[in-house]
Amino acid sequence: MNKRIISVMLCMLILTGFTACGNSATEDSGSKITFYTIKNWYSITEGSSIWDYNKHCTDSDKIIEIVEFETAEELKNKLSTELMSGGGPDLISADCLSAAGISYEKLIEQGCFADINEIIEADTSQDKINLSDYNENALQSGVINGNRYYIPFYFMPNFYVASQQDLEKHISADTKSLSYNDLIKINDKINEEKSDKVITLNADGYLWSYVYDNVDFLNKTYSFDVEFSKTAEKLKELKSSGNEIKEEIFNEFVISPYQIYEYCAEIEKKEETARVIGKPSINTEVLSAQACDIYFINKNSKKKQEIMEFIKFALSEKEQNNVTGAEIEKYDNTTSYYNGSYFPINKKSYKTLMNNAKEIKYLDDTAKISNKSSEQLENMLSQISDYQFPQSTNYMTEVGSELINDYVNGKISTQKFTDSLKSKTKIYMEE
Amino acid sequence: MTRKRKDYFTAFLFILPSLIGIAIFYIVPYIICFIKSLYIGQNFVGLTNYIQLFSNNTFLLALKNTAVFTVIAIPLLMVISFLLALFLNSFEKISSFFSSSFLIPVVVPIASLICVWQVVFDDYGAVNGLLNTLEFYTVEFFSSEFSMVMIIFIYVWKYCGFCVILFTAGLANVPKSLYESARLDGANSFQLVTKVTIPMITPTVFFVFLMEIIYSFKIFREVFALFGDYPNENVYFLQNFINNNYYNLNYPRLSSASIILSLFIIIVLLVFFIFERKHSVSE
């Protein structure tokens, strides 16, 4: 009899033990929208869309419940397990997926995200999103295989700012966008002339972006041919010119019109002409921009309409003005990020921002931007036709990073680099 | 209730806790996995996932590499460990410290071993240093077809000691009188091994084979620690494919690949058990 009691007790112990397996992290969220992130990640810090929305939200049920994880690994395990079992957070940001090392291209392929077009259609409220109020080209970046998986809140043009006097020695005046070969040519000439300028202090970055440019994650194609090897070899050599502390030809950190104009003002102060030019890319005929601040809606979410409240808020003129600093009265270049970042996709907000950026003064409130520079930037912005899906950091972490480091540090030959890249990319794309 | 029935019932109750565990953690997930492998999203697609899997080049590559590894590494490990066991068996007495030292590779944490292997097989590591001294070219163990050689070497090194101990235990049970009789009949050393030793330790050979099959699927830990999620195509195994598809959330592909892998193991083991049972009966 005792034996039976012991065995029954054992069974009960096991069964009750299973109840402890559930994670309480998300249980308390109840009717709230859930969002997973890594602790102190910038997407939830002050000034972010989520932070602003929660501050603005008066209805506690509509607040976004932020579940923070200590490490990226923890977030990755939790997110992948829950998504796979038909659960997961309601709102998923591209930044957090990147940080967790999860490829959003592959999640899109698996149908993990909801089609926002369907949610908009089902919205019966008066303030229903009208897509024509926003930059149509930028919105198009979220449309993949006919479904709208995200609405980017902002964008960043892939532009550089440089002095026309520096550039005219190397490239023609009508060049809209740099090619990687242009970079190599400029670098060669700089080295020949023993100039006091360099292409960049971060030469590895060009190799990274060149690899990215040769991979199409959505269509699962890549091109690592002979031409790729030749260019990669030359780009690797840019590193040698980046070792010394010299002035860079290109101003690369372009996150707002204010920053572009600040660079332009610096150049104009030297009585040179500022030139805005497209970042190096394979297709020099097309000007591109990066879609920013991207949120996906979990297909399993039961709060899709509630999430639309957040999206409406983030797309509103007021919020977009606030984040991009469209109405600032003074630009402080020492805290440029807090003056506002990004370019808004809300048309009204965009107009306000661009007008304001032309009006205010730069270089510590001492210089106004010339009409030529502002017209040039506006003209370039109007020509952007390719709003790119954000690059998957997962590919670089898993495939490219180690190879590029080994290659740049001379541990592997160009042939080995290309062959390994080809082989690993093939597996990454096909599996 | 008779006493026998009562005993059965009590025994069953004692088995029940582990049965619940096995059912919840193995049987039920396996059934769910199989069902999921027949679906894409909410749509029943029958065997489409399996058909697609066999037209997926990456899966075929993983399957090929796994098969190559299994076919080469397991027989190699069995032969080496058997020969070492025979050699050790020729001694009258072996100290317990020496015997237990064979288990060290199995118990040392993988992370520590990986650090050692990285130093040993690096382009500027010990093995290449030796090869260069002997005027051979540097072998890129981490990015060439030699990666498979390295993984097989690590596998054999790691599990050899354990298999030697199993074989030694088997050899110790072979009666000495059989060898003496065979010698009187004029058998040489080779014949002693093939005609006496091997037939007598067949159950041990089966057991070692079974263990090696299981361990061969555990080698993924070493591959993962050495090469990460995306190893070069020479050492991309089925476990890599399954692991990566887990993080890609490709449930249909993941579940169908897992079912195929498990079926492969089940079939091999089933054939093996049938063989063993027949052999035992004939004995």
CATH classification at residue B250: 1.10.3720.10
| CATH of the domain spanning A156-287+390-430 | 3.40.190.10
Q: Name residues of chain B where pLDDT drops below 70.
A: 1, 279-283
With CA atoms as reference, report the closest residue to A98 among A121, A123, A127, A75: A75
Token pair of B240 as six digits: 């890599």
Phi, psi of B103 (to 5 degrees): -90, -10
Tokens of B50: 């399996």
B61 to chain A, minimum CA–CA distance in Å?
A: 9
Residue B214's alpha-carbon distances to A97, A292, B105, B207, B211, in angstroms, are 35, 48, 17, 11, 5
* Domains in chain B, number: 1
pLDDT in tens, A59-107: 887 889 988 888 888 988 888 888 877 788 999 988 888 888 888 888 8
- pLDDT given at position A288: 92
Is the pLDDT at A195 greater than 50, yes or no? Answer: yes
Q: Which residues of B13-48 are buried (b: 16+ CB within 10 A; e: fewer)?
A: bbebbeeeeeeeeeeeeeeebeebbbbbeeeeeeeb
- The CA distances from residue A128 to A114, A115, A133, A142, B178, in Å, are 17, 16, 11, 18, 91
pLDDT of residue A9: 66
Q: What confidence tier does A14 reach under pLDDT thresholds 50, 70, 90?
A: low
Which residue in B10, B57, B61 is closest to A4 by CB distance?
B10
Could you tell me if the ipTM is greater than 0.90? no
- pLDDT range class, residue A16, cuts 50, 70, 90: low
Q: Which domain holds residue B231?
A: 58-282
Query: Where is average pLDDT lowest: A231-240, A348-357, A407-416, B114-123?
Result: A231-240
**pLDDT digits over A243-296, tens only?**
556 677 888 777 889 989 999 999 999 888 999 999 988 888 899 999 998 999
Q: Across-strand partners of B43?
A: B40
Does B9 or A117 have the greater pLDDT score?
Answer: A117
- Torsion angle of the four alpha carbons A206, A211, A213, A216, in this order, in degrees rounded to the nearest 10: -160
What gap in Å lies between CA B119 and CA B126, rounded to an integer?
Answer: 7
Identify whether B266 is part of a domain: yes
Q: What residues does A295 pair with on adjacent strands?
A: A93
Taking only the tens place, the pLDDT of each residue in A350-371 is: 999 999 999 999 888 888 889 9
Question: How far off is chain B from A129, nearest CA to CA, in Å?
Answer: 29
- Of the candidates A3, A106, A423, which has its C-beta nearest B10's C-beta? A3
B230 touches chain A (CB under 8 A): yes
pLDDT averaged over every residue in chain A: 84
| Residue ranges matching CATH 3.40.190.10 in chain A | 30-153+293-317, 156-287+390-430
- pLDDT, residue B281, reads 45
Share of chain A above pLDDT 70, in %: 88
CB of A122 less than 8 A from some CB of B: no
Q: Strand A91-93 and strand A274-278: pairing?
A: unpaired
Tens of pLDDT, residues B128-171: 999 999 988 888 888 888 999 999 999 999 999 989 989 988 98
Sign of CA dihedral A240, A245, A250, A254: positive
Q: Please report the pLDDT score of residue A28 as a whole number.
A: 47
> How many Å separate Cα A315 from the centre of its chain?
17
Task: Please give the pLDDT value at position A24.
Answer: 46
pLDDT of residue A346: 95
Is residue B11 one of the residues assigned to a domain?
Answer: no
Find which of A14-18, A213-217, A340-344, B70-74 is predicted with most confidence, using mean pLDDT: B70-74
A114 to A121, A147, A291, A292: CA distances (angstroms) = 13, 8, 19, 19
- A109 has a pLDDT exceeding 60: yes
CATH of A30-153+293-317, picked from 3.40.50.620, 3.40.190.10, 3.30.9.10, 3.40.1710.10, is: 3.40.190.10
Give residue A183's pLDDT.
84
CB contact under 8 Å between B249 and A112, yes or no, is yes
The answer to whether B246 faces chain A, any CB pair under 8 Å, is yes
Residues with Cβ within 8 Å of A110's Cβ and at least 6 positions away in sequence, in order, are B248, B249, B250, B251
Buried b (16+ CB within 10 A) or exposed e, B176-190: eeeeeebeeeebeee
What is the C-alpha to C-alpha distance for residues B24 and B41, in angstroms, rounded to an integer? 24
Q: What is the pLDDT of residue A356?
A: 93
> Strand pairing partners for A221?
A216
pLDDT confidence of residue B151: 93
Residue in A427, A429, A430 to test binding to B, most B beta-carbons within 10 Å: A427
Inter-chain residue contact A80 with B244, CB threshold 8 Å: no
Residues B262-279 pLDDT 10s: 888 888 888 878 877 776
pLDDT band at A381 (very low <50, low <70, confident <90, very high): very high
Question: Which tokens sit at B115?
Answer: 């650090």
pLDDT level of residue A27 (50, 70, 90 thresholds): very low
What DSSP character marks residue B197?
I
Query: What is the pLDDT confidence band of residue A44, given thresholds at 50, 70 and 90?
Result: low
**Mean pLDDT value across residues A181-188:** 84
Confidence (pLDDT) at B5? 84
Query: Are the beta carbons of B13 and A420 separated by less than 8 Å?
Result: no
User: Is B15 inside a domain boundary?
Assistant: no
